[in-house]
Amino acid sequence: MGFDDIRVAIGKGRILSQLKPRWIDAEFPWPLESDSAKLWFAASQSGPGAIIVRGQDVATLVARGVADLGVVGTDLLVERGLNDVLQVADLDVAACRVVLAGTRSTRPDGPFLVASKYQNITRDFLNRNHLQADIVPMGGSLELAPVIGLAPYIVDIVDTGVTLRQHHLVEIETIMHSHACLIANPAHWRAKPEVVAIRDQLIRGLDGMNQAGGLAR
């Protein structure tokens, strides 16, 4: 079975750098140089091609069939909704949390402003907790929002917590845990056995992580 017809969309940044060892463990070639600005590599007999895009765009490429598979954080999948792609595996990379953070460690007691790129996750969290807030949409550099006076609270990704501490921010609570997962175009998943073979090769050795009944088989 050759993989020359298969493409995987991969989210830039931590997902891309942390996926590399797993990709190599799966015995797929990884032709991207670490200092290269190249944003794709071609498929070959021995491994799928890759398209490197912003995490927010991975599911769009997969839903439209431009990529057969995608590697994206569950934070971005939950934010976008899963209705037009299949989640086919969990990967042991890019673990992080989506948190509410601010300059004080307690929830605000009245209406407040919160900056986030996760407008849906934030709205859902506010509703579930009967909190009143206006969401200020911001695409990145969220930790700046309290410093520059845009909003005293943020909903953002945290891994080690270093970035929050550097900006004198503290976590108030975790809204969700996130990690990288593999998604598939539903039609390609059913029609192309190579797509399923790539999933199987990528999760080899990840026993226990992919037993959840909700994942497509």
Scanning residues 21 to 40, which ones bind ligand AMP (CB under 6 A)? none
Nearer to ligand AMP, 85 or 93 (CB): 93
CB under 6 A: which stretch of 45-53, 108-116, 154-162, 193-201 binds ligand AMP? 154-162
Is there binding between residue 160 and ligand AMP (CB under 6 A)?
A: yes
Nearer to ligand AMP by Cβ, of 86 and 98: the residue is 98
| Minimal distance, residue 162 CB to ligand AMP, in Å | 4
| From 50, 91, 96, 169, residue interacting with ligand AMP (rule: CB under 6 A) | 96
From 153, 173, 180, 160, select the one nearest 10 (Cα to Cα): 180
Q: How many residues bind ligand AMP (CB under 6 A)?
A: 14
Out of 9, 52, 121, 157, which residue is the one contacting ligand AMP (CB under 6 A)?
Answer: 157
Q: Is 159 a binder of ligand AMP (CB under 6 A)?
A: yes
Contact positions vs ligand AMP (CB under 6 A): 13-15, 73, 94, 96, 156-163
